[in-house]
Structure 1
Amino acid sequence: MNLLSLRRAADTVGIPRELRQLLRFGWVQSMSCVFPVVIFVSLAVTQQFPLPWLPRYDWLLLICLAMQAWMLLAGLETRDELKVITVFHLIGLALELFKVHMGSWAYPGEGWAKVGGVPLYSGFMYASVASYLCQAWRRMNVGLEGWPPLRIAVPLAASIYLNFFTHHYWIDLRWWLSALVLIVFRRSWVTYQVGRRRYRMPLVLSFALIGFFIWIAENVATFFNAWKYPNQSDTWQLVSLGKISSWLLLVIISFLIVASLKQVKERRLPGTSVPRDSASRFNR
């Protein structure tokens, strides 16, 4: 079923317009979350039904690789999106190696494809966030208003990422960086299309919403032993609410990188990526 058939079905049964829009939005979101959903289903299945021949972490890696290849071959993902996702895989893997070394969390299971105590499938959990952003961006024709220049956005993203490392040796700047995000993006809006209508919301609000849902996903992942925090070594516990701030900052990094790369591509191929500020285009 695609958006057109869903729309016709909704019109046939007389569903109110607002509810139809909500159903369309939900459908687009679910299609954009295919990769993350596969990862969570794989975590649940391999936890409840151990697979033969290989350790669980290695099966998860093979599943992620197969899913990535299928999405590309099936046209659910473009080559440019694959490049962005690969960058996120490497960024996430570097962060995982450092955090596991520092004892922030651990992967207690066995695995052949494990480096420095980190299974290689873990990078795909970061890549799945990038996959969602790229696909949602394309499917909902996302646009930006009031986007700061690259000379501000890029150093901000780099500072947020470096703070995940440096706060172990120096002061934690996450709250200062969060305040800086509010200042830099106070006039920024994200616009998106559902059906024939366009909507807009403050960009900072979209950061917070995505970060919150990733925190929920993190609770699901730790429940299925994707990894464990120190306080979950004996029995599973709810992930600290304080982790929402970490995920919010990670979402900001992801969004900044995706948006910046799309702006760079737009300059090379005019009219193919991020729409310029143009209030007249958007239904408010």
Structure 2
Amino acid sequence: MKYTIHELILFAVKQAHACLFGGFLLAIMLVTRYWYPIDFLHRYDFIFIAAIVFQLFLLIFKLETIKEAIVIIVFHLVATVMELFKTSDAIGSWSYPEAYVFGVGNVPLFTGFMYSAVGSYIARVWRIFEFRYENYPNKRWTIILVIGIYVNFFSHHFIADFRWLLLFITGWLFFNTKIHFKIIKTYRNMPLLLGWFLVAIFIWIAENLATYANIWIYPNQTNGWELVPLAKLSSWYLLMLLSFVLVSLINEVRDYSKPKNEQ
């Protein structure tokens, strides 16, 4: 019992360490929502600069690896393209209500870091818990799947929304996949599909906090904040999968059934 409690505490600590960048961003957003005394710098621009400075801090003090920093850059680029489309005047899926200087079109540049925080978390938790996998599908199929997911984020505005088909394919492809993670010495495991769902719930909670902090708003929140619908979980679940597969391209997908020296 004592060992189990110790393991649970260490699990929480390691998770918090993996969430370092995302936690920092969310804290900055919430604090500046109620207290922001800098008159000469827009709040959004301050968040952008703070994110860059914090990234440099993590790298300098070796709290983040170069590989993880590359993941953040890639996610920033991929996310900014999607943000430009989603916030365009013709689409208007959501908007950023405050002023900024550092931005492109309707998108302040700090927004890419919000998606990068998800990629950063996955890359860090992968390393910290020494992930290994059981029945992981062929990478080729996972790449094809996430390309379809990314395209659907754009195309569903013009043709049918295939998210439920994509979720079905995801379930079929990863149904038997288990993720093994080491907290202290012993490997624990859970279905990978369940792991993604749990992370998606935490992202949905963070999204509610961010919209409450006026970081971005959906059309139904223009006249006052409302809880983000639970239906958004499907989008975050697919984003989780997209993020995970992108990270898998630079991280080794180790087979749990094989000794480490055979991989």
Cα-to-partner distance string for 1:137-164 (whole Å, 9 max, x where unaligned): 1111111121111221111011011100
Quote the residue 1:42 is aligned against.
28
Q: Which amino acid aligns with 1:278?
A: S
1:262 aligned residue (241, 247, 251): 251
Quote the residue 2:81 is aligned against.
94
Distance in 2 (alpha carbons) for counterparts of 1:175 and 1:17: 41
Distance in 1 (alpha carbons) for counterparts of 2:259 and 2:113: 39
Matched, 1:72 2:59: yes
Quote the residue 1:244 is aligned against.
233
Aligned-pair CA distance for 1:280? 7.6
Identity of aligned residues (%): 38
Distance in 2 (alpha carbons) for counterparts of 1:106 and 1:59: 18
Q: Which amino acid aligns with 2:181?
A: Y
Q: Which runs of 4+ in 1 moved over 4 A?
A: none
Quote the residue 1:154 is aligned against.
143
Distance in 1 (alpha carbons) for counterparts of 2:229 and 2:183: 34
The Cα RMSD (Å) is 1.3
Structure 2: any 5+ residue segments left out of the alignment?
none
Q: Does the residue aligned with 2:249 lie in a helix, a strand or coil?
A: helix
Q: Which amino acid aligns with 1:170?
A: I
Matched, 1:163 2:152: yes
Q: Which amino acid aligns with 1:220?
A: L
Matched, 1:108 2:87: no
Q: Does the residue aligned with 1:109 lie in a helix, a strand or coil?
A: coil
Structure 1: any 5+ residue segments left out of the alignment?
1-14, 264-273
Distance in 2 (alpha carbons) for counterparts of 1:246 and 1:21: 32
Quote the residue 2:15 is aligned against.
29
Quote the residue 1:276 is aligned against.
255
Distance in 2 (alpha carbons) for counterparts of 1:58 and 1:145: 44
Matched, 1:143 2:132: yes
Quote the residue 1:269 is aligned against.
none
Distance in 1 (alpha carbons) for counterparts of 2:140 and 2:258: 24
Q: Does the residue aligned with 2:251 lie in a helix, a strand or coil?
A: helix
Aligned-pair CA distance for 1:279? 6.7
Cα-to-partner distance string for 1:67-109 (whole Å, 9 max, x where unaligned): 1111111101111111111101111111111110110000010
Quote the residue 2:6 is aligned against.
20
Q: Does the residue aligned with 2:123 lie in a helix, a strand or coil?
A: helix
Distance in 2 (alpha carbons) for counterparts of 1:129 and 1:78: 16
Distance in 2 (alpha carbons) for counterparts of 1:89 and 1:140: 25
Matched, 1:213 2:202: yes
> Structure 2-normalised TM-score?
0.95
Distance in 2 (alpha carbons) for counterparts of 1:204 and 1:118: 32
Quote the residue 1:128 is aligned against.
117
How many corresponding residue pairs?
257
Matched, 1:183 2:169: no
Which segment is superposed worse, 151-160 or 48-57? Answer: 48-57
